[in-house]
Amino acid sequence: MDDDGPTAQHGGARYARELEQHLDWLETFTSTALGVLASASGIYTYLGVRTLLTDSGIWTTFAALAYSIAVSVGIFVFWSYMLRLLPAVRSAVSRVGLFLAMGLGCVAIVAMSSWLNAAALAGGAAVETHMATTVQHYQAALERAHANAVAGQSLTRDVARVRQSFGDLSEQEAGGTLSGWAGRGAVFRVLTQKQAELQALEDQLAAVADPIEATFAQGNTILSQMRSISVEPGGLEDRTIRFSEDAVQLAGLITQMRQLNPAPLVSRAAQDLADAVVLPELDGTSADIRAGQSSTIASVLSLVQQRAQTLGRAAADVMTLPQPDEALYTPMSAADAVIVYAGNFVPAWAGAISIDLLPAVLVFIIMVVQAAIRSGRGHGHLDDRMTVRELRAALAAAEALREAEAQTAAPPAPPPPPPRPEV
């Protein structure tokens, strides 16, 4: 039983020495690997910064290069600190403090580098996604405006039905069916007056049918051009300019389509139909005839009021249809687009963040290995490893001690003999 303790301790020490040998070998290229990661992040950061700077002068290039170099140096220094210090500390307070510092540093790295790396990796695709989304918004707005305009133009049937009813009544009045006296008197003129107003309104509604369809066809043509621009190869700057021009033109067509909607015209005409009535002079030859004409005209005006309300309600139903959204294209830089559409580019974001935060995994690995080394050596163990610098210092100190001991042990030198007197 007494031998178990020393044997286990010896095995733990050998296990610790084996891990230390692995760490010593890994440290020979860890700094190089960390430098490569920092340099790669700096390169992509430079490409991301270039997408934000519109000027192409030499100072712009110098500024982007300086920023990317600063990012590379910052990443290298930060993770060098973490790789050295965090695995070495032993107290819980120190570890918590360094963990907080590492978390803050990771946030800073993502803020100053990772999003620019993502812009370099997927910025062009994000801008194209923004274009495609804008095309969908414009298409929805154009189709909504066209549907509303067609619904307004369909009021032509309601106007025609009301006009036909007044036409039939005027024919009946000409035969004497309404007022009881045949002819084209005051009642007939009121009916034909309203029939003429409705005929004019019907002609206006029919006149907007072709412009509505022509505007819709032109809008679809521009939409096709915008779709082609969003996916065609070539530089983003030129494509964005052409896309913006088409977007402005399409927005104008959508506004024009909304103005072509005749529903407001029908609503105003229905109001005028009821309010604007020119009553003719009663032309009956006798008091009974004039009384009959007056009574019939009152009935006709009541009918006009009802028909006007019917047309007004039909026009109001059209005007309460959902209006098209304001489709507005706002050009985006690659860095902005990759943030707005981050959900579409999760792999690019994962790669951009991983290249910056991968050393955190190495920090945790070294922490685990250092803990295993301490466990294998025991709590009371004093480290017996020496670096080359420490070995050289120890040899120099030993040499100095030997020289001092040699000088102390050596007998004093005899005094020189006195000089002989001259004869």
Q: Quick: pLDDT tens for 68-105.
A: 999 999 999 999 999 888 888 888 888 899 999 999 99
- Reported as a pLDDT band with limits 50, 70 and 90, residue 309 is confident
User: At a CB cut-off of 8 Å and minimum separation 6, what does 322 contact?
Assistant: 144
pLDDT: which is higher, 129 or 12: 129
Mean pLDDT of all residues in 190-214: 81
What value, to the nearest 5°, has the Cα angle with vertex 24 and ends 19 and 27?
120
**Where is average pLDDT lowest: 50-59, 311-320, 326-335, 357-366?**
50-59
Cβ atoms < 10 Å from Cβ of 144: 19
pLDDT higher than 50, residue 114: yes
- Reported as a pLDDT band with limits 50, 70 and 90, residue 423 is very low
Tokens of 242: 């052409």
Q: Which sign, positive or negative, has the C-alpha torsion 107, 111, 117, 118?
A: positive
Mean pLDDT of all residues in 167-171: 70
Which residue in the block uniquely carries the two structure tokens 């005839």? 289
pLDDT higher than 60, residue 405: yes
- pTM value? 0.68
Rounded Cα–Cα distance for residues 64 and 85 (Å): 32
Tokens of 357: 């935060």
Per-residue pLDDT, 410: 58
pLDDT: which is higher, 15 or 98: 98
Question: Strand, coil or helix: what is 187?
Answer: helix
Cβ atoms < 10 Å from Cβ of 134: 22
Phi then psi dihedrals of residue 284, to 5 deg: -70, 150
Rounded Cα–Cα distance for residues 2 and 7 (Å): 9
pLDDT: which is higher, 13 or 177: 13
Tokens of 419: 């000089």
pLDDT higher than 80, residue 215: yes
The DSSP result for 160-206, as a single string, is HHHHHHHHHHHHHHHTTSSSSS-SS-HHHHHHHHHHHHHHHHHHHHH
Mean pLDDT, the chain, rounded, equals 79
Distances (CA, A) of 125 to 143, 206, 336, 355, 412: 27, 46, 12, 20, 90
pLDDT higher than 60, residue 33: yes
Sorted by where each begins, the domain ranges of the chain are 149-334
Taking a C-beta distance cutoff of 8 angstroms, is the pair 135, 247 a contact?
A: no
Provide the 8-state DSSP code for 341. Answer: T
Distances (CA, A) of 347 to 29, 147, 172, 336, 354: 28, 40, 78, 17, 10
Rounded Cα–Cα distance for residues 171 and 177 (Å): 9
Question: Strand, coil or helix: what is 386?
Answer: coil
Taking a C-beta distance cutoff of 8 angstroms, is the pair 274, 309 a contact?
A: yes
Per-residue pLDDT, 48: 84
Taking a C-beta distance cutoff of 8 angstroms, is the pair 220, 138 a contact?
A: no
pLDDT in tens, 315-352: 888 888 888 877 788 888 888 888 888 888 888 888 88
Helices 236-260 & 115-153, crossing angle to 10 degrees?
20
Per-residue pLDDT, 164: 77
- Reported as a pLDDT band with limits 50, 70 and 90, residue 221 is very high
Query: Residue 324's closest CA among 240, 262, 267, 256?
Result: 256
Query: Residue 282's closest CA among 200, 366, 391, 183?
Result: 183
Per-residue pLDDT, 2: 45
Query: Residue 165's closest CA among 187, 186, 201, 194?
Result: 194
